[in-house]
Amino acid sequence: MMSPKTYLLICSILLITIFSSAVQHVGPVTAGRVSYVECLTKARQFSKGDKAYQLAGDFLEAELDRERTTTTLLNTLVGEMNNTLQAKDKLLDEIQNSRNKLESEFLFSLALGQPVVANRMTLEGALRAYRMSLTTLPPESLKTTTEQYGDFRDKFLLDASNTYMRRDCIKLNLDLSALGIVAALPDVKNELKDLFRTLSGHVHYRNPLPTIPGIYIGGDQPTTSALAICMARLQGEHHCDLELYVLDAHGDPKCKLVGGKVHTL
């Protein structure tokens, strides 16, 4: 009678033989592994009631079940991770919306009782609103205000190569010039290329403040014209609902921007 140790050794040899036979039958190994399903199929074909072969088949079937369980667990974890990321992105969007709303309300409330010059703040808030409107973009896109401005500029202010101003921007520059905000078109075009970086370097408004309460933008040329054109286009695309007064280089209000158009005072 065969001892248990000898029987186990024979089973091990048969198991190795079945694996080798399965590999030969199923072809080349993919990524260093033989498909458990294919090996199990071959093992079942070889078994024909033999206990040793049946043992090998049971082993392969157990390995297949383990692989299926692992795959299911990984898929579940990936799904939960994606849900968490989506919830995080939604929460960040809600926070950003709340921030935009609070900043607009703050500016509006402040401007009810005093003049407020807010070049960068008005542009930042409008650009964030613009980014929030781009629902088809991946969450990681256009995170910085500089990137947001670049995207808006290429779509609404200049052509893709930043060589020409768009027609509606040229008209806005003419309307501004007619009301005292005068700057040469080539200078305005060049200023629009990197307007947000220019505003980032303007720490303080140097001229005396106007006496009439309101939200003002402006200062030196051609920055004033470029900013006014940009804010008018943001208004026109419904990303800014503030009424903005435009100051000339001397700090005098010359016109106002409402709904994307230039109006007299």
Q: Which of 77, 103, 123 is the last residue of a domain?
A: 77
- The pLDDT of 163-180, averaged and rounded, is 96
Q: Assess if residue 107 is contained within a domain.
A: no
Residue 129 inside a domain? The answer is: yes
Whether residue 135 sits in one domain with residue 215 = yes
Going from the C-alpha of 192 to that of each of 27, 69, 231, 241, the distances in angstroms are 63, 57, 11, 21
Q: Which pLDDT belongs to residue 43?
A: 54
- Answer yes or no: do 123 and 232 share one domain: yes
Q: How far apart are CA 208 and CA 246, in angstroms?
A: 14
More confident position, 185 or 82 = 185
Say whether the peptide bond before residue 139 is cis (omega within 30 degrees of 0). no
Percent with pLDDT over 70 in the chain = 65
* Claim to verify: residue 140 and residue 56 sit in the same structural domain: no
The mean pLDDT value for 184-200 works out to 93
In a domain, 98, yes or no: no
pLDDT of residue 68: 80
pTM over 0.85: no
User: What pLDDT does residue 89 have?
Assistant: 62
Evaluate if residue 105 carries a pLDDT over 50. Answer: yes
The more confident residue out of 65 and 257 is 257
- Domains identified in the chain, total number: 2
Q: Looking at the structure, tell me whether residues 31 and 125 fall in a common domain.
A: no
For 143, the domain range is 114-263
Question: What is the rounded distance in angstroms from the CA atom of residue 157 to the CA atom of residue 170?
Answer: 9
Task: Give percent above pLDDT 90 in the chain.
Answer: 36
pLDDT at 211 over 90: no
Same domain? 134 vs 52: no
Q: Is residue 100 part of a domain?
A: no
pLDDT digits (tens, 9 = 90+) for 2-31: 455 454 455 555 555 555 554 454 444 444
Average pLDDT (162-177) is 95
b/e code 114-142 from CB counts within 10 Å (16+ = b): ebbbbbbbbbbbbbbbbbeeeeeeeeeeb
Residue 210 falls in which region: left (phi positive, over 0), alpha (psi -120 to 50) or beta: beta
Q: Which of 27, 49, 77 is the last residue of a domain?
A: 77
Q: Give the pLDDT mean for 213-221.
A: 91
pLDDT exceeds 80 at position 236: yes
* Cβ atoms 157, 165 nearer than 8 A: yes
Sign of CA dihedral 85, 89, 90, 91: positive
Segment 109-150, tens digit of pLDDT = 777 778 888 898 899 989 988 988 887 777 677 778 899 999
In a domain, 96, yes or no: no
Asked if residue 104 is part of any domain, the answer here is: no
Measured CA to CA, the distance from residue 235 to residue 215 in angstroms comes to 14
Which of 115, 112, 117, 116 minimizes the C-alpha distance to 220?
A: 117
pLDDT in tens, 39-93: 555 555 555 555 655 666 666 677 777 778 888 888 877 877 777 766 666 666 6
Last residue of a domain, one of 24, 48, 77: 77
Is there a single domain that holds both residue 137 and residue 200?
yes
Residues 126 and 255 in one domain: yes
* Position 92 in a domain: no
Instruction: Work out the mean pLDDT of the chain and round it to a whole number.
Output: 78
| pLDDT for res 29 | 43
Task: Say what the pLDDT of residue 249 is.
Answer: 87
Do 185 and 55 fall into the same domain?
A: no
Same domain, 53 and 175: no
